[in-house]
Structure 1
């Protein structure tokens, strides 16, 4: 329970205590800003040192390749060991850079601008991934119920438009979040993000498609596709991850059952299936447009 001064003397004493606390807060905040500046300098210095050593290692690797032809067998073995170490060092640099600020990719630059999206510790990275999974789970349930309602219970163009707008927003948000995960070290494959781009395109077409016979012909096919696609692709991976194997970290560590926590691909579905389904849906839409008589448009 908070202390509430009842008399003037107690009020003066409380003010004096608050003044002391305020001075401590100022000192702490001043130290905090100083540490932030030091961190920024360390980040810039580390990034610069990595870039310089990368360039030198690249030049050294080229020189070793040129000198290898006229070398003795002992020198060839030494060169091979050095080149293996160069490869290992490159992997180490990539791991270091997941904790250093870096330029955003084209997509994030277009959407967010040149904002630093690098999270500086593993706990923050795992927390962001966990929020990503919760976001997917909640929206997956909402979208599944929404698509079932549109497909079997109500046939309303306004309800369809609301559903398709939610799909467009959802898939666009997913691509942004996944791009941030990639910037923080998640090994998300290109096909996984491409699948969401295709889904965004399909949802956008359905959203802007005017009411008519052509729209009604494709509507039910699209909703059926969504009923199958959404749960299979967008449910969180942790619902499918097996029990962690011996020697692996738990859900809070870097791996869960052999599946890296920061990655998001479905381990139980091959990439070709996901991309093929989306591409086939787009092709099916194209043929549907071509097969409709002009009088029905």
Structure 2
């Protein structure tokens, strides 16, 4: 009994020693955290001052008349300003920043900046896995609703899953953008429009108009999920190669659509992309036709028609623009050779 008591007393002394070490470590941690916060504030202030000075300098360099020597100097300074702006972008990826309007509405004024590369990459990879897994689930859900379960309640579950999926993507992408991801343009707006479309589909009451469009929409969802699945693996391969060569940022995403850096081996994928775009146009035309039906009383029909038309125009024109730009660059390279 006495030996056991001595052993327990020894364990308690060891526990006390570890607790004192923990207190000291935590004290040092808080001091370092305050130092980091102070350095973050200093860096942010300095970057803002530099940006303002560069804007003023850039404005002064816009001279309508300049000698050849002055023009060469202006070109050199302009190139250096552009490099400095890229450096600021990389620096700000590791500094806290104010959230955009969307993140403020969803999360409030919460700091979503990830301070280490490891945390950024882990969050980005988790985002990619989430998108892949949900694409597979949505594919199975669309197949089930189209061929097995012909019930309104299962359609509602599927549409609700679409709304949740696109809402989650918009939030996660906004966080990635705050941490240095360069996704921009239509590919950002695309998910917001898709969220709205899925929400309207969710509110569309069962009836003749809904049943007339149901099969076409589910077939489109199946095709879209298959294309997104192909895109994910194709784009992941492109991104992996370019990262290995140091030509792409490690926070670049395998976003929907077609990016300017995806070109080699794209022959098999472009027809599927354009087919999906024109299917969106076909959906819009079908819905516009249904809106003129004498039995049509739902506002969702017209709204969905315009939304599908917007998706078609955004996807088609953006893809066409990127293809044209890439072809033009290839022509210029051939001329130089």
Band the TM-score falls in, shorter-chain normalisation: 0.7 to 0.9
Structure 2 residues without counterparts, runs of 5 or longer = 299-337
1: CA distance, partners of 2:178 / 2:144: 37
Partner of 1:142: 137
Partner of 2:305: none
1:234 deviates by: 5.7
1: CA distance, partners of 2:112 / 2:101: 14
Structure 1 residues 196 and 234, CA gap change in structure 2 (3 angstroms): farther
Contact 2:103/2:171, CA 8 A, preserved across alignment? yes
Partner of 1:97: 92
Partner of 2:5: 8
1: CA distance, partners of 2:152 / 2:130: 27
* Ranges of 4+ aligned residues in structure 1 off by more than 6 Å: none
1:127 deviates by: 0.7
State the superposition RMSD in angstroms.
2.9
2: CA distance, partners of 1:260 / 1:275: 29
1:202 deviates by: 2.2
Counting matched residue pairs gives 284
1: CA distance, partners of 2:127 / 2:197: 23
Indicate whether 1:160 and 2:155 are aligned. yes
Q: CA offsets per residue over residues 182-208 of structure 1, 9 Å max, x none?
A: 111212132222222222222212211
Partner of 1:262: 252
1: CA distance, partners of 2:279 / 2:109: 31
Partner of 1:85: 80
Which residue, 107, 116, 123 being the options, matches 1:121? 116
Structure 1 residues 295 and 24, CA gap change in structure 2 (3 angstroms): closer
Match of 2:62, SS? helix
1:274 deviates by: 9.1
Contact 1:136/1:236, CA 8 A, preserved across alignment? no
2: CA distance, partners of 1:10 / 1:207: 66
Partner of 2:284: 283
Q: CA offsets per residue over residues 103-149 of structure 1, 9 Å max, x none?
A: 11221121112211111122111111110111112111111111100
Partner of 2:308: none
Indicate whether 1:18 and 2:19 are aligned. no
Contact 2:112/2:178, CA 8 A, preserved across alignment? yes
TM-score of the superposed pair, with normalisation by structure 1: 0.84
Which residue, 44, 47, 51 being the options, matches 1:54? 51
Which residue, 184, 188, 191 being the options, matches 1:193? 188
1:242 deviates by: 3.5
Partner of 2:211: 216
Partner of 1:230: 225
